[in-house]
Amino acid sequence: MTFEYAPAPESRSVVDIAPSYGLFVDGEFTEAADGRVFKTVSPSTEEVLSEMARAGEADVDRAVAAARRAFEGWSALPGSERAKYLFRIARIVQERSRELAVLETLDNGKPIKETRDADLPLVAAHFFYYAGWADKLEHAGYGPAPKPLGVAAQVIPWNFPLLMLAWKIAPALATGNTVVLKPAETTPLSALFFADICRQAGLPKGVVNILPGYGDTGAALVAHPDVNKVAFTGSTAVGKAIARTVAGTRKKLTLELGGKGANIVFDDAPVDQAVEGIVNGIFFNQGQVCCAGSRLLVQESVHDEVLDALKRRISTLRLGDPLDKNTDIGAINSAEQLARISSLADQGEAEGAERWTAPCEIPSAGYWFAPTVFSGVTQAHTVARDEIFGPVLSVLTFRTPDEAVAKANNTAYGLSAGIWTDKGSRILAVANKLRAGVVWSNTFNKFDPTSPFGGYKESGYGREGGRHGLEAYLDV
């Protein structure tokens, strides 16, 4: 007999998803002006979860106008009052965190283990953190009386729907801005539940407006002449398009874009923890993480040992029902994303990299991709250069620290990197030389509201989190 873990599903009954949702504008849920709607499905089952109003240009106008009207009062509130609203929101998020975790897992496909233990705690923490800043802005190092910008247009991705909302909304509100936020078309639900949290918190109407929609909604929003601030998290291609859109305006822009993070394992690394870090780096959230450690750079002398340990460890990952508390690998967020991952992986194989796939059963419905490792990869392979945004790791080797740094930096991106070594001076020297906004030494994929996050080069500009995160929303 073997130790088979029986199914341990988290109960769906804690969340009540309505059959349809409107746009959240000026404190009310409303239909789209042109009546358009779209459906959101559960990526693990392809079950339709709900139907959303789809915001068009007229709705963007309406939402921006509502945010503009609300700005006057909101920005004039004493910081201590704004703080209390944010503290209320943080507390309600904590109270409703199980509900929101289940909701997020249903809409996104990621394991409940992650929404419960990572996404939701970080969401609440982010609101707590920025709540505390609201009445202390004069101490933040941005002058004696830093002013908000006005209306913030925020467009967020589907990989961490509620967490990205928190990263956008918490600092914006703390600094006195009002927001119009567009969630991703495949994961709109948690943003609409957040609208309900705003209602429970008694947030003045128009301070937060939520516009579900597709890329056209986002494009209309960032192009709207009456927004003062644009914040986007998503692909580098869209980020560049937004940068062109706001060129020549006075809109302040921050972008948090793609990455091709290098996870560098030296021969003196704490190997067992490095293996855990590699796994966490590329399989957390099915690898759909902008800062994923998608390139493993391993010192040639320990390549075989590390790769063997890695494969053994990956073989223990449990892929399946995201609501099962023992699931490690959930569903890919959408059919489109799955197609992209599959195509890039096929390209990796076609270009001659050696493909290894974890032995796991793929469910019959839904969008799934088994953890995959490419070894024998060089800098020239597509899988080493393009962001795959999926559970696909490319393994490259290096001989010396200089070569490791050179390879790590040999990318248009510059978001994250990891260093694994027992030697303190090497950590510091290599961390200094890496052109990346976040460097994890002997760990990976750690996040905290106090810790600034953002990229170098084509990974974007501006920082979210920490004192630095205030700057994006202040007129400085």
Partner 1 sequence: MSTTPSPTHALTDVAASDASLRRFLHGLPGVDPVGLEARAAALGTRSIKTTAKAYALDLAISMVDLTTLEGADTPGKVRALGAKAVLPDPTDRTAPSTAAVCVYPDLVEVAKAAVAGSSVKVASVATAFPAGRAPLEVKLADVRAAVAAGADEVDMVIDRGAFLAGHYLKVYEEITAVKEACGGAARLKVIFETGELSTYDNIRRASWLAMLAGADFIKTSTGKVAVNATPANTLLMLQAVREFRDRTGVQIGVKPAGGIRTAKDAVKFLVIVNETAGPDWLDNHWFRFGASSLLNDLLMQRQKLATGRYSGPDYVTVD
Partner 2 sequence: MSDRPMSERLSVFKTYKLYVGGRFPRSESGRVYEVTGSKDGNWLANAPLSSRKDARDAVVAARKAFGGWAGATAYNRGQVLYRVAEMLEGRRSQFTREVAEAEGLSKAKAAALVDLSVDRLVWYAGWTDKIAQIAGGANPVAGPFFNLSTPEPTGVVAVLAPQESSLLGLVSVVAPVIATGNTAVVVASERSPLPALSFGEVLATSDVPGGVVNVLSGRTAEIAPTLASHMDVNALDLTGADAELATGLEVAAADNLKRVLRPRTGEDFAATPGTDRLTAFLETKTVWHTTGSLGASGSSY
What distance lies between CA 193 and its chain's CA centroid?
18
Told to judge if 10 belongs to the known catalytic residues of this protein, a careful annotator would answer: no
| Residue 235 interacting entry, from partner 2, partner 1, none, C-beta within 5 to 8 Å by type | none
Which region, judged by CB under 8 A, interacts with partner 1, from 33-41, 150-158, 267-275, 345-353? Answer: 267-275
Parallel, antiparallel, or unpaired for β 460-461 and 252-256?
A: antiparallel
End-to-end CA distance of the chain: 65
> How many CB atoms within 10 Å of residue 350?
9
DSSP letter string over 147-215?
-B-SEEEEE--SSSHHHHHHHHHHHHHHTT-EEEEE--TT--HHHHHHHHHHHHHTPPTTSEEE----H
Residue 13, interface with partner 1 (CB under 8 A)?
A: no
Minimum CB separation of residue 370 from partner 1 in Å reads 18
Task: Choose one: 188-196, 217-225, 262-270, 353-361; the region binding partner 1 (CB under 8 A).
Answer: 262-270
* Interaction partner, residue 426 (partner 2, partner 1, none; CB < 5-8 Å by kind): none
Least distance in angstroms from the C-beta of 109 to partner 2? 27
- CA-nearest of 58, 404, 465 to 254 is 465
3-state SS class at 131: helix
Q: Binding mask 139-178 vs partner 2 (x if CB under 8 A, - otherwise)?
A: --x-x-----------------------------------
Q: Interface with partner 2 by CB under 8 A: which range of 38-46, 167-175, 347-355, 445-453? A: 445-453
Q: Rounded to the nearest whole angstrom, what is the least distance from the CB of residue 8 to partner 1 in the complex?
A: 4
Site membership for partner 2, residue 456 (CB under 8 A): yes
Catalytic (active site) residue 360: no
| Radius of gyration in angstroms for the set of CA atoms belonging to the chain, rounded to a whole number | 22
What are the residues whose beta carbons fall under 8 Å from the beta carbon of 109, sequence distance 6 or more? 42, 43, 44, 286, 322, 330, 331, 332, 333, 366, 367
Q: Which stretch binds partner 2 (CB under 8 A): 165-173, 227-235, 396-404, 460-468?
A: 460-468
Q: Answer yes or no whether residue 9 interacts with partner 2 by CB under 8 A.
A: no
Partners of 393 in the β-ladder: 373
One residue of 75, 94, 326, 378 binding partner 1 per CB under 8 A: 326
What does the angle CA 445 – CA 447 – CA 449 come to, to the nearest 5 degrees? 170
For every residue of 47-69, which 3-state class applies, written as one string? CEEEEEECCCHHHHHHHHHHHHH
Tokens of 99: 């509900």
Task: Name which of partner 2, partner 1, none residue 427 binds, using a CB cut-off of 5 to 8 Å depending on partner kind.
Answer: partner 2
Residues that bind partner 1 (CB under 8 A): 1-8, 113, 117, 268-273, 276-277, 316, 325-326, 422, 442-443
Residues that bind partner 2 (CB under 8 A): 125, 141, 143, 236, 239-241, 243-244, 247-248, 250, 255, 257, 412, 427, 431, 434, 436-443, 446, 448, 450-454, 456-458, 460-461, 463, 466-468, 476
Residues marked active site are found at 256, 290
